[in-house]
């Protein structure tokens, strides 16, 4: 009798815990976060091409078919080669020849010591981006010193290079992420956009609502407004939460595309050392972002080399 009673209590307990987990508002929010409806995306896109960009095409490119493309690509494409006659120019720049693009995007990739992954990333991304009818260029910013990896500072350096080259839209992108849906247009929206909200590593669920890491799209103007990212995060973690805090302090609201079109494959690698600043992510006071970021960015540029598939910026932080 006593045993049967204990069992009942145990079962009830388990059921209650399961219910709490699955009915928790955050759980549902993460699965079905707020996003821009597909039909409304064209109105939210930020249309601008790079200063000095010219196209000989007369007709403007149309993005309807890209945004409504429902194919999913396979990550195994990283093992392939680029098609012949791909028309990618030195430095990793491309623009369509059959129509005049409405967007110029600088894809900025912080990097160190993952040659195999970088090769796969470049092949995949050029194949992916070419079919979106946008003008783009891939910048890889490599940390050559031996201090812990500083993702955010590398992104600041890449952003500056992209802005100097006249790019109005920045996509800040990890080298281990591959976008699986061609409908995930690599153009800026008027709101800074978290692009990688559905990653296989997290079982395609957003780990927390304010996550703003992985792959994001932000206009050069907005990036300047928030003084870029912090230069102080050496080692893994926290710098993306800091970026989110900067946007909040400037009242910039982020947006996303629907989960289905925000799917990414994360290439595997060994985990990195956690950084010291990680747990000190702050809420910025007004003007709190003005003394750490683009404005006080200091580094040594070791070399910049134009490779066939990317612009390689090597820096000592
Ligand atoms: C979070 C990290 C992010 C990272 C995501 C996803 C921190 C700060 C702790 C206070 N944030 O935990 O940087 O992008 O996980 O992996 O570590």
What residue has token string 């281990």?
Answer: 176
Give me 29's structure tokens.
């929010």
Instruction: For the chain, report the end-to-end CA distance as a whole number of angstroms.
Output: 70
Tell how far the Cα of 40 is from the centroid of ligand 1, in angstroms: 31
- Rounded distance between C-alpha atoms, residue 163 and residue 181, angstroms: 27
Q: Which residues contact 76 (CB under 8 A, 6 or more apart)?
A: none
Tell how far the Cα of 241 is from the centroid of ligand 1, in angstroms: 7
Count CB-CB contacts under 10 A for residue 140.
25
Q: Can you give the pTM of this predicted structure?
A: 0.90
Q: Are 210 and 201 in contact (CB under 8 A)?
A: no
Q: Quick one: pLDDT at residue 282?
A: 67
- Rounded distance between C-alpha atoms, residue 172 and residue 162, angstroms: 11
Q: Is the CB of 283 under 6 A from ligand 1?
A: no
> What pLDDT tens digit does each residue of the chain (317 aa) get?
567 778 888 887 777 776 666 655 445 445 689 999 999 999 999 999 999 999 999 999 999 999 999 999 999 888 888 777 789 999 999 999 999 999 999 999 999 999 999 999 999 999 999 999 999 999 999 999 999 999 999 999 999 999 999 999 999 999 999 999 999 999 999 999 999 999 999 999 999 999 999 999 999 999 999 999 999 999 999 999 999 999 999 999 999 999 999 999 999 877 778 887 776 766 776 667 888 999 999 999 999 999 999 999 999 99
Q: Quick one: pLDDT at residue 86?
A: 80
Q: Is the CB of 80 under 6 A from ligand 1?
A: no
Q: Are 48 and 88 in contact (CB under 8 A)?
A: no
Q: Is the CB of 36 under 6 A from ligand 1?
A: no
Domains of the chain: 33-316 (3.90.550.10)
- Rounded distance between C-alpha atoms, residue 76 and residue 95, angstroms: 25
Give me 290's structure tokens.
């003005």
- Full DSSP string of 47-86: -B--TT------SBP--HHHHT------GGGGGS-PPTT-
Helix H segments across the chain?
Answer: 2-23, 25-31, 41-44, 64-67, 115-130, 151-164, 220-225, 239-249
Atom number in ligand 1 closest to CA 281: 10
Q: Is the CB of 174 under 6 A from ligand 1?
A: no
């Amino acid at each position: 009798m006593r045993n049967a009673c204990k069992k009942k209590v145990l079962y009830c307990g388990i059921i209650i815990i399961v219910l709490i987990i699955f009915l928790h508002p955050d759980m549902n929010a993460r699965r079905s976060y707020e996003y821009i409806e597909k039909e409304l995306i064209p109105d939210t896109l930020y249309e601008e091409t790079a200063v000095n960009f010219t196209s000989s095409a007369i007709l403007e490119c149309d993005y309807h078919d890209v945004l409504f493309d429902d194919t999913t690509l396979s990550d195994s494409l990283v093992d392939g080669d680029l098609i012949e006659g791909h028309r990618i120019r030195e430095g990793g720049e491309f623009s369509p020849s059959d129509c005049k693009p409405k967007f110029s995007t600088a894809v900025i990739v912080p990097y160190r010591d993952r040659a195999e992954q970088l090769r796969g990333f470049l092949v995949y991304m050029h194949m992916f981006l070419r079919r979106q009818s946008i003008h783009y260029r891939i910048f890889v910013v490599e940390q050559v010193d031996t201090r812990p990896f500083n993702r955010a500072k590398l992104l600041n350096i890449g952003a500056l290079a992209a802005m100097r080259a006249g790019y109005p839209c920045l996509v800040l992108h990890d080298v281990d992420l591959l976008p699986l849906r061609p409908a995930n247009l690599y153009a800026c929206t008027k709101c800074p956009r978290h692009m990688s909200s559905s990653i296989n590593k997290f079982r395609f669920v957003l780990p927390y609502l304010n996550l703003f890491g992985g792959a994001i799209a932000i206009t050069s103007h907005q990036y300047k407004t928030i003084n870029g990212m912090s230069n102080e995060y050496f080692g893994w973690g926290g710098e993306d939460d800091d970026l989110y805090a900067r946007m909040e302090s400037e009242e910039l609201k982020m947006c996303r595309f629907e989960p289905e079109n925000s799917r990414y494959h994360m290439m595997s690698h060994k985990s990195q050392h956690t950084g010291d600043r990680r747990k000190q992510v702050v809420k910025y006071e007004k003007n709190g972002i003005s003394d750490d970021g683009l404005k006080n960015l200091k580094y040594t540029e070791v070399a910049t080399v134009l490779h066939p598939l990317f612009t390689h910026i090597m820096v000592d932080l």
